[in-house]
Protein backbone atom coordinates (compact mmCIF):
# COMPACT_ATOMS: atom_id res chain seq x y z
CA UNK A 1 0.00 0.00 0.00
CA UNK A 2 1.27 3.47 -0.81
CA UNK A 3 -0.11 6.88 0.06
CA UNK A 4 -1.12 9.12 -2.84
CA UNK A 5 -2.02 12.71 -2.04
CA UNK A 6 -3.60 15.39 -4.22
CA UNK A 7 -5.14 18.75 -3.38
CA UNK A 8 -8.68 17.40 -3.27
CA UNK A 9 -8.45 14.25 -1.21
CA UNK A 10 -6.23 11.65 0.41
CA UNK A 11 -6.58 8.11 -0.89
CA UNK A 12 -4.77 4.84 -0.37
CA UNK A 13 -3.68 3.19 -3.59
CA UNK A 14 -2.45 -0.41 -3.68
CA UNK A 15 0.94 -0.95 -5.26
CA UNK A 16 2.30 -4.47 -5.42
CA UNK A 17 5.67 -3.30 -6.73
CA UNK A 18 6.60 -1.28 -3.64
CA UNK A 19 7.30 -2.43 -0.08
CA UNK A 20 4.40 -1.75 2.27
CA UNK A 21 6.58 0.56 4.38
CA UNK A 22 7.64 2.79 1.49
CA UNK A 23 5.36 5.78 0.87
CA UNK A 24 4.85 7.25 -2.57
CA UNK A 25 5.69 10.93 -2.94
CA UNK A 26 2.77 13.31 -2.67
CA UNK A 27 1.26 14.43 -5.96
CA UNK A 28 1.61 18.21 -6.10
CA UNK A 29 -0.80 20.56 -7.83
CA UNK A 30 0.16 23.79 -9.56
CA UNK A 31 -0.81 25.70 -6.41
CA UNK A 32 1.36 23.38 -4.31
CA UNK A 33 4.38 23.97 -6.51
CA UNK A 34 3.87 27.75 -6.70
CA UNK A 35 3.29 28.13 -2.97
CA UNK A 36 6.30 25.97 -2.18
CA UNK A 37 8.64 27.86 -4.50
CA UNK A 38 7.51 31.31 -3.38
CA UNK A 39 7.80 30.36 0.30
CA UNK A 40 11.35 29.06 -0.23
CA UNK A 41 10.44 25.46 0.66
CA UNK A 42 13.60 23.63 -0.43
CA UNK A 43 11.88 20.27 -0.90
CA UNK A 44 9.17 21.64 -3.16
CA UNK A 45 11.68 23.87 -4.93
CA UNK A 46 13.77 20.78 -5.71
CA UNK A 47 10.70 19.02 -7.05
CA UNK A 48 9.79 22.07 -9.14
CA UNK A 49 13.26 22.06 -10.69
CA UNK A 50 12.91 18.35 -11.43
CA UNK A 51 9.57 19.17 -13.05
CA UNK A 52 11.11 21.64 -15.52
CA UNK A 53 13.90 19.15 -16.28
CA UNK A 54 11.45 16.35 -17.05
CA UNK A 55 10.91 15.24 -20.65
CA UNK A 56 7.36 14.11 -19.86
CA UNK A 57 4.95 16.28 -21.94
CA UNK A 58 2.49 16.59 -19.03
CA UNK A 59 5.32 17.68 -16.73
CA UNK A 60 6.55 20.20 -19.28
CA UNK A 61 3.08 21.73 -19.60
CA UNK A 62 2.69 22.00 -15.84
CA UNK A 63 6.19 23.47 -15.57
CA UNK A 64 5.35 26.24 -18.02
CA UNK A 65 2.19 27.12 -16.08
CA UNK A 66 4.32 27.20 -12.93
CA UNK A 67 6.84 29.56 -14.53
CA UNK A 68 4.03 31.88 -15.60
CA UNK A 69 2.63 31.80 -12.05
CA UNK A 70 5.95 32.75 -10.41
CA UNK A 71 7.19 35.12 -13.14
CA UNK A 72 6.15 38.33 -11.25
CA UNK A 73 8.66 37.32 -8.57
CA UNK A 74 11.61 36.88 -10.95
CA UNK A 75 14.10 39.23 -12.57
CA UNK A 76 15.51 40.94 -9.51
CA UNK A 77 18.58 38.76 -8.95
CA UNK A 78 22.16 39.24 -10.05
CA UNK A 79 22.75 36.61 -12.76
CA UNK A 80 26.49 35.92 -12.91
CA UNK A 81 28.23 33.51 -15.27
CA UNK A 82 31.52 32.03 -14.01
CA UNK A 83 34.02 30.25 -16.26
CA UNK A 84 37.69 29.36 -16.38
CA UNK A 85 39.99 26.58 -17.50
CA UNK A 86 39.92 23.35 -15.44
CA UNK A 87 42.13 23.79 -12.39
CA UNK A 88 41.65 27.54 -12.14
CA UNK A 89 39.92 27.12 -8.77
CA UNK A 90 36.27 27.75 -9.61
CA UNK A 91 34.94 25.62 -6.75
CA UNK A 92 37.15 27.29 -4.14
CA UNK A 93 36.29 30.72 -5.52
CA UNK A 94 32.55 30.05 -5.61
CA UNK A 95 32.55 28.79 -2.02
CA UNK A 96 34.52 31.81 -0.78
CA UNK A 97 32.45 34.25 -2.85
CA UNK A 98 29.15 32.65 -1.91
CA UNK A 99 29.92 32.60 1.80
CA UNK A 100 30.96 36.27 1.70
CA UNK A 101 27.70 37.21 -0.04
CA UNK A 102 25.64 35.30 2.51
CA UNK A 103 27.47 37.09 5.35
CA UNK A 104 26.29 40.33 3.74
CA UNK A 105 22.66 39.20 3.73
CA UNK A 106 22.35 37.67 0.27
CA UNK A 107 20.95 34.27 -0.71
CA UNK A 108 23.04 32.40 -3.27
CA UNK A 109 22.19 29.73 -5.85
CA UNK A 110 24.87 27.86 -7.83
CA UNK A 111 23.89 26.17 -11.10
CA UNK A 112 26.13 24.08 -13.35
CA UNK A 113 25.85 24.26 -17.12
CA UNK A 114 27.97 21.18 -17.85
CA UNK A 115 27.60 18.76 -14.93
CA UNK A 116 28.82 15.61 -16.65
CA UNK A 117 30.93 16.38 -19.68
CA UNK A 118 32.58 13.25 -21.02
CA UNK A 119 35.34 15.38 -22.54
CA UNK A 120 36.11 17.78 -19.71
CA UNK A 121 35.21 15.63 -16.72
CA UNK A 122 33.68 18.67 -15.05
CA UNK A 123 30.96 17.87 -12.54
CA UNK A 124 29.04 20.08 -10.15
CA UNK A 125 28.36 16.95 -8.09
CA UNK A 126 32.08 16.69 -7.48
CA UNK A 127 32.30 20.42 -6.89
CA UNK A 128 29.54 20.18 -4.31
CA UNK A 129 31.70 17.96 -2.12
CA UNK A 130 34.46 20.56 -2.35
CA UNK A 131 32.08 23.36 -1.30
CA UNK A 132 30.96 21.83 1.97
CA UNK A 133 30.33 25.00 3.97
CA UNK A 134 28.39 26.63 1.13
CA UNK A 135 26.44 23.45 0.32
CA UNK A 136 25.37 23.13 3.97
CA UNK A 137 24.40 26.78 4.35
CA UNK A 138 20.60 27.23 4.48
CA UNK A 139 20.93 30.43 2.43
CA UNK A 140 22.68 28.64 -0.44
CA UNK A 141 21.43 26.14 -3.00
CA UNK A 142 23.69 24.12 -5.31
CA UNK A 143 22.04 22.38 -8.25
CA UNK A 144 23.30 20.64 -11.41
CA UNK A 145 21.51 21.28 -14.69
CA UNK A 146 21.55 18.25 -17.02
CA UNK A 147 22.82 18.65 -20.56
CA UNK A 148 20.11 16.42 -22.03
CA UNK A 149 22.71 15.26 -24.51
CA UNK A 150 23.34 18.63 -26.12
CA UNK A 151 23.82 22.31 -25.44
CA UNK A 152 20.21 23.30 -26.17
CA UNK A 153 18.95 21.08 -23.38
CA UNK A 154 21.28 22.83 -20.95
CA UNK A 155 20.01 26.22 -22.09
CA UNK A 156 16.37 25.29 -21.47
CA UNK A 157 16.71 23.73 -18.04
CA UNK A 158 19.29 26.19 -16.72
CA UNK A 159 17.22 29.24 -17.65
CA UNK A 160 14.07 27.80 -16.15
CA UNK A 161 15.90 26.74 -13.01
CA UNK A 162 17.29 30.26 -12.67
CA UNK A 163 13.76 31.68 -12.74
CA UNK A 164 12.57 29.26 -10.07
CA UNK A 165 15.55 30.11 -7.86
CA UNK A 166 14.84 33.82 -8.24
CA UNK A 167 11.18 33.26 -7.34
CA UNK A 168 12.33 31.34 -4.26
CA UNK A 169 14.23 34.41 -3.06
CA UNK A 170 17.80 33.72 -4.17
CA UNK A 171 19.13 37.12 -5.21
CA UNK A 172 22.54 36.04 -6.55
CA UNK A 173 22.59 33.26 -9.15
CA UNK A 174 26.02 31.86 -10.10
CA UNK A 175 26.01 29.84 -13.32
CA UNK A 176 29.19 27.80 -13.63
CA UNK A 177 30.70 26.31 -16.77
CA UNK A 178 33.77 24.11 -17.05
CA UNK A 179 35.61 26.43 -19.44
CA UNK A 180 35.61 24.22 -22.51
CA UNK A 181 33.76 24.21 -25.82
CA UNK A 182 30.83 26.53 -26.53
CA UNK A 183 29.37 26.57 -23.01
CA UNK A 184 30.81 30.02 -22.30
CA UNK A 185 28.76 31.53 -25.11
CA UNK A 186 25.62 29.86 -23.79
CA UNK A 187 26.23 31.11 -20.26
CA UNK A 188 26.95 34.65 -21.44
CA UNK A 189 23.60 34.59 -23.24
CA UNK A 190 21.67 33.84 -20.05
CA UNK A 191 23.45 36.03 -17.48
CA UNK A 192 23.93 39.74 -16.77
CA UNK A 193 27.60 39.54 -15.85
CA UNK A 194 30.23 37.19 -17.25
CA UNK A 195 33.24 36.50 -15.03
CA UNK A 196 36.33 34.77 -16.43
CA UNK A 197 38.84 33.30 -13.96
CA UNK A 198 42.50 33.04 -15.00
CA UNK A 199 45.64 31.53 -13.50
CA UNK A 200 48.83 33.38 -12.52
CA UNK A 201 51.57 32.98 -15.11
CA UNK A 202 49.94 33.60 -18.46
CA UNK A 203 51.74 30.71 -20.15
CA UNK A 204 50.77 30.10 -23.80
CA UNK A 205 49.43 33.62 -23.97
CA UNK A 206 45.76 33.14 -23.07
CA UNK A 207 46.00 29.65 -21.57
CA UNK A 208 43.65 28.12 -24.08
CA UNK A 209 40.95 30.70 -23.43
CA UNK A 210 39.98 31.94 -26.87
CA UNK A 211 39.72 35.55 -27.92
CA UNK A 212 35.95 35.13 -28.21
CA UNK A 213 35.68 34.35 -24.51
CA UNK A 214 37.69 37.44 -23.60
CA UNK A 215 35.32 39.49 -25.75
CA UNK A 216 32.44 38.19 -23.66
CA UNK A 217 34.12 38.90 -20.31
CA UNK A 218 32.76 41.68 -18.10
CA UNK A 219 35.62 41.10 -15.66
CA UNK A 220 38.75 38.97 -15.60
CA UNK A 221 39.96 37.76 -12.22
CA UNK A 222 43.42 36.26 -11.84
CA UNK A 223 42.85 33.63 -9.17
CA UNK A 224 45.32 31.93 -6.81
CA UNK A 225 47.34 35.11 -6.23
CA UNK A 226 48.37 34.04 -2.74
CA UNK A 227 51.91 33.17 -1.58
CA UNK A 228 54.59 32.64 -4.22
CA UNK A 229 52.08 33.36 -6.98
CA UNK A 230 51.76 37.05 -6.14
CA UNK A 231 54.35 38.32 -8.63
CA UNK A 232 53.07 35.96 -11.33
CA UNK A 233 49.57 37.23 -10.65
CA UNK A 234 50.73 40.84 -11.10
CA UNK A 235 52.29 39.98 -14.45
CA UNK A 236 49.21 38.04 -15.56
CA UNK A 237 46.90 40.87 -14.52
CA UNK A 238 48.85 43.32 -16.66
CA UNK A 239 48.94 40.84 -19.54
CA UNK A 240 45.17 40.43 -19.59
CA UNK A 241 44.58 44.15 -19.10
CA UNK A 242 46.68 44.82 -22.21
CA UNK A 243 44.75 42.16 -24.13
CA UNK A 244 41.42 43.70 -23.20
CA UNK A 245 42.53 47.18 -24.29
CA UNK A 246 43.04 45.81 -27.80
CA UNK A 247 39.46 44.55 -27.93
CA UNK A 248 36.40 46.71 -28.43
CA UNK A 249 34.21 46.59 -25.29
CA UNK A 250 30.81 44.98 -25.71
CA UNK A 251 29.24 48.06 -24.11
CA UNK A 252 30.31 51.71 -24.36
CA UNK A 253 29.33 52.02 -20.70
CA UNK A 254 31.74 49.42 -19.35
CA UNK A 255 35.46 48.71 -19.71
CA UNK A 256 36.08 45.22 -18.29
CA UNK A 257 38.53 45.43 -15.35
CA UNK A 258 41.18 42.87 -14.41
CA UNK A 259 41.59 42.01 -10.71
CA UNK A 260 43.78 39.75 -8.59
CA UNK A 261 41.88 37.47 -6.24
CA UNK A 262 42.36 34.42 -4.07
CA UNK A 263 39.49 32.05 -3.53
CA UNK A 264 41.63 30.36 -0.87
CA UNK A 265 42.33 33.42 1.30
CA UNK A 266 39.50 35.69 0.19
CA UNK A 267 41.82 38.44 -1.08
CA UNK A 268 40.10 40.66 -3.63
CA UNK A 269 36.70 38.91 -3.34
CA UNK A 270 34.97 41.94 -1.79
CA UNK A 271 36.42 44.25 -4.47
CA UNK A 272 35.19 41.88 -7.18
CA UNK A 273 31.64 42.08 -5.79
CA UNK A 274 31.86 45.87 -5.71
CA UNK A 275 32.64 45.84 -9.45
CA UNK A 276 29.74 43.51 -10.15
CA UNK A 277 27.37 45.78 -8.22
CA UNK A 278 28.72 48.82 -10.07
CA UNK A 279 28.18 47.08 -13.41
CA UNK A 280 24.60 46.23 -12.39
CA UNK A 281 23.92 49.82 -11.32
CA UNK A 282 25.30 51.31 -14.56
CA UNK A 283 23.44 48.88 -16.83
CA UNK A 284 20.21 49.25 -14.87
CA UNK A 285 20.27 53.05 -14.98
CA UNK A 286 21.13 53.14 -18.68
CA UNK A 287 18.38 50.67 -19.59
CA UNK A 288 20.97 48.28 -21.04
CA UNK A 289 20.20 45.54 -18.52
CA UNK A 290 16.54 45.42 -19.55
CA UNK A 291 17.49 45.43 -23.25
CA UNK A 292 19.98 42.59 -22.75
CA UNK A 293 17.43 40.45 -20.94
CA UNK A 294 14.85 41.03 -23.66
CA UNK A 295 17.33 39.92 -26.33
CA UNK A 296 18.18 36.86 -24.25
CA UNK A 297 14.49 35.86 -24.10
CA UNK A 298 14.19 36.04 -27.90
CA UNK A 299 17.37 34.02 -28.35
CA UNK A 300 16.07 31.47 -25.85
CA UNK A 301 12.86 31.17 -27.89
CA UNK A 302 14.80 30.45 -31.10
CA UNK A 303 17.03 27.94 -29.31
CA UNK A 304 13.95 26.06 -28.18
CA UNK A 305 12.46 26.15 -31.68
CA UNK A 306 15.67 24.68 -33.09
CA UNK A 307 15.66 21.97 -30.41
CA UNK A 308 12.04 20.99 -31.02
CA UNK A 309 12.48 20.87 -34.80
CA UNK A 310 15.63 18.78 -34.48
CA UNK A 311 13.91 16.38 -32.08
CA UNK A 312 10.93 16.06 -34.41
CA UNK A 313 13.13 15.45 -37.43
CA UNK A 314 15.26 12.80 -35.74
CA UNK A 315 12.18 11.01 -34.43
CA UNK A 316 10.21 11.05 -37.69
CA UNK A 317 9.82 7.52 -39.13
CA UNK A 318 10.62 8.51 -42.72
CA UNK A 319 13.84 10.28 -41.74
CA UNK A 320 14.87 7.44 -39.41
CA UNK A 321 14.27 4.89 -42.16
CA UNK A 322 16.56 6.70 -44.62
CA UNK A 323 19.15 8.23 -42.30
CA UNK A 324 21.45 5.20 -42.28
CA UNK A 325 21.72 4.99 -46.05
CA UNK A 326 22.16 8.74 -46.50
CA UNK A 327 24.82 8.72 -43.80
CA UNK A 328 26.63 5.91 -45.60
CA UNK A 329 26.56 7.89 -48.86
CA UNK A 330 28.09 10.90 -47.09
CA UNK A 331 30.82 8.73 -45.54
CA UNK A 332 31.67 7.18 -48.92
CA UNK A 333 31.73 10.55 -50.68
CA UNK A 334 28.82 9.67 -52.95
CA UNK A 335 27.01 12.84 -51.92
CA UNK A 336 28.13 15.94 -50.05
CA UNK A 337 27.02 16.72 -46.52
CA UNK A 338 25.08 19.86 -47.62
CA UNK A 339 23.20 17.84 -50.25
CA UNK A 340 22.43 15.13 -47.69
CA UNK A 341 21.12 17.73 -45.28
CA UNK A 342 18.84 19.17 -47.96
CA UNK A 343 17.52 15.73 -48.85
CA UNK A 344 16.73 14.94 -45.22
CA UNK A 345 15.06 18.31 -44.69
CA UNK A 346 12.94 17.89 -47.82
CA UNK A 347 12.09 14.34 -46.78
CA UNK A 348 11.07 15.49 -43.30
CA UNK A 349 9.05 18.46 -44.56
CA UNK A 350 7.12 16.44 -47.15
CA UNK A 351 6.47 13.50 -44.82
CA UNK A 352 5.43 15.76 -41.97
CA UNK A 353 2.98 17.65 -44.19
CA UNK A 354 1.45 14.38 -45.38
CA UNK A 355 0.93 12.95 -41.91
CA UNK A 356 -0.14 16.26 -40.39
CA UNK A 357 2.65 16.57 -37.82
CA UNK A 358 4.00 19.73 -39.44
CA UNK A 359 1.65 22.45 -40.58
CA UNK A 360 3.07 24.72 -43.27
CA UNK A 361 0.86 27.43 -44.74
Q: What is the pLDDT of residue 21?
A: 39
Q: What is the pLDDT of residue 180?
A: 56
CATH 1.20.5.170 residue window(s) in the chain: 2-70
Whether residue 123 is predicted with pLDDT greater than 60 in this model: the reply is no
CATH 3.40.50.300 residue window(s) in the chain: 74-286
> In angstroms, rounded to a whole number, what is the distance separating the alpha carbons of residues 190 and 57?
24
In which band, very low, low, confident or very high, does the pLDDT at 211 lie, cut at 50, 70 and 90?
A: low
Q: Three-class SS of residue 207? A: helix
Sequence-ordered strand ranges (E) for the chain: 2-5, 10-13, 78-84, 108-112, 140-144, 172-176, 193-198, 219-222, 258-260
CA-nearest of 114, 98, 38, 44 to 69 is 38
Whether residue 110 is predicted with pLDDT greater than 90 in this model: the reply is yes
Distances (CA, A) of 105 to 70, 172, 260, 267: 23, 11, 24, 20
- Give the global pTM: 0.82
CATH 1.10.287.130 residue window(s) in the chain: 296-355
Q: 274, 281 in Cβ contact below 8 A?
A: no
Taking the domain 2-70, which CATH number applies? Answer: 1.20.5.170
Percent of the chain with pLDDT over 70: 77
Weakest-pLDDT range from 1-15, 90-104, 214-228, 279-293: 1-15
Q: Three-class SS of residue 219? A: strand
Task: For residues 51-59, give the mean pLDDT.
Answer: 90
Residue 300's CB is within 10 A of a number of other CB atoms, namely 16
Distance of alpha carbon 8 from the chain centroid: 36
What b/e sequence results for 13-36 when a residue is b if at least 16 CB atoms lie within 10 Å of its CB, and e otherwise? eeeeeeeeeeeeeeebeeebbbeb
**Class of CATH domain 74-286:** alpha beta
Fold of 296-355: Helix Hairpins (1.10.287)
Q: What is the pLDDT of residue 155?
A: 62
In which band, very low, low, confident or very high, does the pLDDT at 151 lie, cut at 50, 70 and 90?
A: very low
Weakest-pLDDT range from 105-119, 141-155, 239-253: 141-155
> In angstroms, rounded to a whole number, what is the distance separating the alpha carbons of residues 350 and 361?
13
Amino acid sequence: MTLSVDTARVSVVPDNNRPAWRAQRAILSLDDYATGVLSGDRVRLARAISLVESSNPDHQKLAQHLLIRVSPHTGRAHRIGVTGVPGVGKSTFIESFGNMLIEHGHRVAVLAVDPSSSRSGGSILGDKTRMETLANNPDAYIRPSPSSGRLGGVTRTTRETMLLMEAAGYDVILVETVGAGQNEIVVADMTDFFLVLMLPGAGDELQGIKKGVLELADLIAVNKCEGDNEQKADAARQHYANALHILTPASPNWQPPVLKISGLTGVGIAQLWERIEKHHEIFQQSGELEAIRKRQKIKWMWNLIEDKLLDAMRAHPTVKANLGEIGRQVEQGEITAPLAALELLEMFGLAARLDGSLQIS
